Amino acid sequence: MAKHWRKTLQSWVTKTMDLPDDIMMDLPRITMIGQLHIYIENHRGLLTFTDCECRLLLKQGQLLVKGSGFVIKTILPEEILLEGKVDSVTFLEE
């Protein structure tokens, strides 16, 4: 029951205050420039990284980015910029 009220309150606050959903609901913001760069904000940490895979922890689940030639260009506590060829982005539920 409390979870339902929390989502309802978050939705109301987001609409009333005109705030982006990603801020109010702790969702990741993903920006891609073609297949060359992917910038991910609001993640909870880097779980695995290779030149062909990056797995990030989210508030709910994980984000899996697959491709080739990955290089971490920038990494901050809640942001990461990957350069390389991005083939797929998948949300994994826990």
Q: What is the pLDDT of residues 13-65, one digit of tens each?
A: 666 766 555 555 678 999 999 999 999 999 999 999 999 999 999 998 999 99
Domain 26-92 has CATH 1.10.287.610: no
pLDDT digits (tens, 9 = 90+) for 68-91: 999 999 999 999 999 999 999 999
Alpha carbons 23 and 27: distance in angstroms, whole number: 7
In angstroms and rounded to an integer, the radius of gyration of the C-alpha atoms of the chain is: 15
Alpha carbons 59 and 45: distance in angstroms, whole number: 10
58-11-5 Cα angle (round to 5)? 90
CA atoms in the 13 A half-sphere facing the CB of 44? 9
pLDDT value at residue 86: 98
pLDDT value at residue 19: 57
